[in-house]
Amino acid sequence: MIQAKRKTGLIFFPAYDWEISPTHPERQERLLYTQDQVLEEGLLDIQGIKEFKAGLAREQDINRAHFCVPDVNSRITHSHNISAGGCMEAARLVLEGVVEKTFALVRPPGHHAMRVVHGVRGFCNINIEAVMVEWIRKNYPRIKKIAIVDTDCHHGDGSQDIYWHDPNVLYISMHQDGRTLYPGSGFTDEFGGPGALGLTLNVPLPPRTSDQGFLHAIENLILPVLDEFKPDLIVNSAGQDNHYSDPITHMAFTARGYARLNELLDPDICVLEGGYSIESALPYINTGIILALAGVDYSFVREPDLKPEELREEPGVMDYIKDLCESILDAWHQRNKNSMPNNQFVERNRRIFYDTDGISENQQETLRFCSDCPGVFKIDTQASTGYRALCVHVPHGACKACRRQGREWFDTVKGRYYAAYLQDMDNNVYLIDIQ
C-alpha cells in the first residue's frame, strides 16, 4: 500500500441542492467528476489520505467577515453555510493536529465576496476563506499571521477588500491580467491600505501564461515574500480556471503544473475556488493537488488531450513575467518607506457592481489611520436595492482611541440609514441597529 508522507484530509461537499442554473458553469457537476476521479484513482486507498465531513458555519461566523445587508439569512442558502463550514473544519483538522494538510473541495466559492454584501458577485455570496480565517483568529489566538495565496485565474477582489487594512494577513493574488478578464482589477498598484502597505500583492499575468510563467512567479516572488513575512499558516485559495481548457479564461496551466505549484507553496490548507472545465481539467488538477499535499508522486497525472508543445510561452512573455516579478518584489522591499501622520482620516470612494444580481453599490470608506493599531474604519454603503447602511469595523488589536471612535460612529447614527452595523473583532461582537 502507498503511504502518504503527510497526513492529508479531504472535505467534499458537492452542494447537490445549489446551482446558479442547470447549464451555468457553477453547477453541481463541478465536483461530482472530481469525486469520481478520486475514487477511481484510489486516492482514498493511500494510507494517510482520509475524507472528513464538512462542518456548518453559523450566522455569527459569517458576521465576523461580512456586513450582510440587510442580514445574513437573506444573502445565503444552506449550501453556503456548509461550504464555509467545510473550510472551518479543514482548518480545525490542521490546527488540532489530526492531519498535516487539508483540501476543502467545497462549493459554492467565495473570493469575489467583499466585506459588505448586498448580493452575488462572480458566483460568490460569501467569502468562504475569510469566514475560515476569522474563525481561526477567534478560536486559535496562537495563530498571529496568515498568508492567503490566491491562484484563481480571476483576481480575488473580495479577499483583497476584506484584508486591505489588515497588517497580519498577507493577501497575494496571481491571476490573468485584469485588462483582459473579470473583475478588471488586481493591478500592481493595488498594494494595501495605509496601515498595511505591501500586504496586498497582485501578480497580473498575461493571457496564455503556462506552467513556466506561473512557477517562475512562485519561486522568484511569492516564496521569497512568504519567507520574509513568516506566516503561521498558509492558505491556497485554489482556483483552477487557469487551466488551458477552461471555457471562461485564457491561460495555459496544466494539472501537473498545479501539483508542482502546491508542492512548492506547501500550504497548510487548500480551498477550492473557480474552475469550470468540469470534465477535462478539474478531476486531473484536484488529483495532482491532493497527491502533492500528501507528498505522493504525481508524475503520472496527465490530461488525455495535453499537447505541451502548444502551451509554450510566446516570445517575450517570460521576459515580461520576470520583469513583473522583479518590480513587485522591489516594491515589497520598499513598502515601509511610506508613512502618514497619526490620527489622520483617509477616505476611499468606490462603485461596486454585483454582476450576478445586477446590483450597483456606492461606498464611502473612512479610515482612522493609527500608529498604535490597524485603525478603525466605517463604510457608508448604498445599493440600488434601496438599502443604505453604515458599517463600522473595529479591528483585531484596536487601541482605546480607535475603539472609542468606532463606538461613537455606531452610536450616533441617526436617520438616513436602514441600519448601522458594528464588527468588534477582539470582543467577537456583531451588532445591528435598525433605524
Residues marked as catalytic: 112
Main-chain phi, psi angles of 154, to 5 degrees? -95, 140
Instruction: Read off the amino acid at residue 34.
Output: T
Give yes or no for a cis peptide into 341 (omega within 30° of 0): no
Q: How far apart are CA 141 and CA 29, in angstroms?
A: 38
Cα Rg for the chain, rounded, in angstroms? 21
> Could you give the C-alpha distances from 426 to 22, 139, 233, in angstroms and in order?
42, 11, 20
Q: How far apart are CA 205 and CA 208, in angstroms?
A: 9
Q: How far apart are CA 104 and CA 262, in angstroms?
A: 14
- Residue recorded with cell 488551458: 244
Helix, coil or strand: residue 329: helix
Q: How far apart are CA 345 and CA 348, in angstroms?
A: 10
Q: Which of 385, 428, 375, 432 is nearest to 406 (CA)?
A: 375
Q: Edge-to-edge strand order for the sheet containing 377-383?
A: 345-354, 359-368, 377-383, 388-394, 419-424, 429-434
Q: How far apart are CA 151 and CA 202, in angstroms?
A: 11
C-alpha dihedral sign at 196, 199, 202, 203:
positive
Q: How far apart are CA 145 and CA 192, in angstroms?
A: 16
Q: How far apart are CA 216 and CA 318, in angstroms?
A: 9
Task: Show the cell assigned to 272.
Answer: 477550492
Residues 377/367, Cβ–Cβ less than 8 Å: yes
Q: Where are the beta strands (DSSP E) in 240-293?
A: 269-272
